[in-house]
Amino acid sequence: MSHAGMPHRPRLLIARRIFPEVLERLRTHFELRVNEADAAWSADELIAALQDCDAVFVTTGERIDAALLAACPRLRAVCSMAVGYNNIDLEACTRAGVLVSNAPDVLTETTADLGFALMLAAARRMSEAERWLRRGEWQRWSVEQFCGQDVHGATLGILGMGRIGQAIARRGALGFGMRVIYHNRSRLPAAQEAPLGARWVSKLELLREADHLVLVLPYSPASHHAVGAAELAQMKPGATLTNIARGGIVDDAALAEALRGGRITAAGLDVFEGEPALHPALLELPNVVLTPHIGSASRPTRLAMANLAADNLIAAFTGGPPPTALNPQVLPLR
Sign of CA pseudo-dihedral 21, 24, 26, 31: positive
221 preceded by a cis bond (ω within 30 of 0): no
Domain check: are 161 and 220 in the same one? yes
The pLDDT of residue 84 = 87
Specify whether the CB–CB gap between 305 and 160 falls below 8 A.
no
Domain check: are 98 and 212 in the same one? no
**Distance between CA 36 and CA 13 in Å, rounded?**
11
pLDDT tens digit string along 69-88? Answer: 999 999 999 999 999 898 99
pLDDT tens digit string along 115-147? Answer: 999 999 999 999 999 999 999 999 999 999 999
**What is the pTM for the complete model shown?**
0.90
Mean pLDDT of 192-219: 96
Mean pLDDT of 94-122: 97
Domain check: are 147 and 54 in the same one? no
Please choose, from the candidates 66, 71, 68, 55, the residue with its C-alpha nearest in 3D space to the C-alpha of residue 92.
Answer: 66
Mean pLDDT score across all residues of the chain:
95
The pLDDT of residue 8 = 78
Is residue 151 assigned to a domain?
A: yes
* 163-170 helix and 108-123 helix, angle to the nearest 10 degrees: 50
Domain check: are 93 and 241 in the same one? no
The pLDDT of residue 5 = 38
The pLDDT of residue 6 = 40
Domain check: are 60 and 86 in the same one? yes
- The neighbour count for residue 227, using CB atoms within 10 Å, is 25
Q: Which helix (H) or strand (E) holds 56?
A: strand 55-58
276 preceded by a cis bond (ω within 30 of 0): yes
Specify whether the CB–CB gap between 279 and 252 falls below 8 A.
yes
Is residue 251 assigned to a domain?
A: yes
Is residue 210 assigned to a domain?
A: yes
CA angle 115, 117, 120 (to 5 degrees): 110
Is residue 34 assigned to a domain?
A: yes
Is residue 259 assigned to a domain?
A: yes
Instruction: Say yes or no to pLDDT of 2 above 50.
Output: no
Distance of CA 175 to the CA centre of its chain: 23
Identify the domain containing residue 87 by its residue range: 11-106+299-330
**By three-state DSSP, how is residue 240 classified?**
strand
Q: What is the DSSP string of 152-202?
A: TTSEEEEE--SHHHHHHHHIIIIIH--EEEEE-SSPPPHHHHGGGT-EE--
**Distance between CA 312 and CA 305 in Å, rounded?**
11
Is residue 2 assigned to a domain?
A: no
**Distance between CA 59 and CA 306 in Å, rounded?**
9
The pLDDT of residue 7 = 55
Specify whether the CB–CB gap between 155 and 179 falls below 8 A.
yes
Confidence of residue 94 (pLDDT cuts 50, 70, 90): very high
Instruction: Say yes or no to pLDDT of 242 above 50.
Output: yes
The pLDDT of residue 4 = 41
Q: What is the DSSP string of 174-186?
A: IIH--EEEEE-SS
Is residue 5 assigned to a domain?
A: no
Please choose, from the candidates 38, 25, 42, the residue with its C-alpha nearest in 3D space to the C-alpha of residue 309.
Answer: 25
Please choose, from the candidates 214, 216, 196, 152, the residue with its C-alpha nearest in 3D space to the C-alpha of residue 178.
Answer: 152
Pairing of strands 212-215, 155-159: parallel
Domain check: are 162 and 239 in the same one? yes
Give the residue numbers marked as catalytic.
Answer: 246, 275, 293
Q: Kindly report the CATH number assigned to the domain that includes residue 326.
A: 3.40.50.720
Please choose, from the candidates 171, 174, 275, the residue with its C-alpha nearest in 3D space to the C-alpha of residue 214.
Answer: 171
Domain check: are 52 and 114 in the same one? no
Assign 3-state DSSP to the chain and report helix, strand, coil percentages, each to 5: 35, 15, 45
Give, as one character, the DSSP assignment of residue 330: G
How many domains, the chain? 2
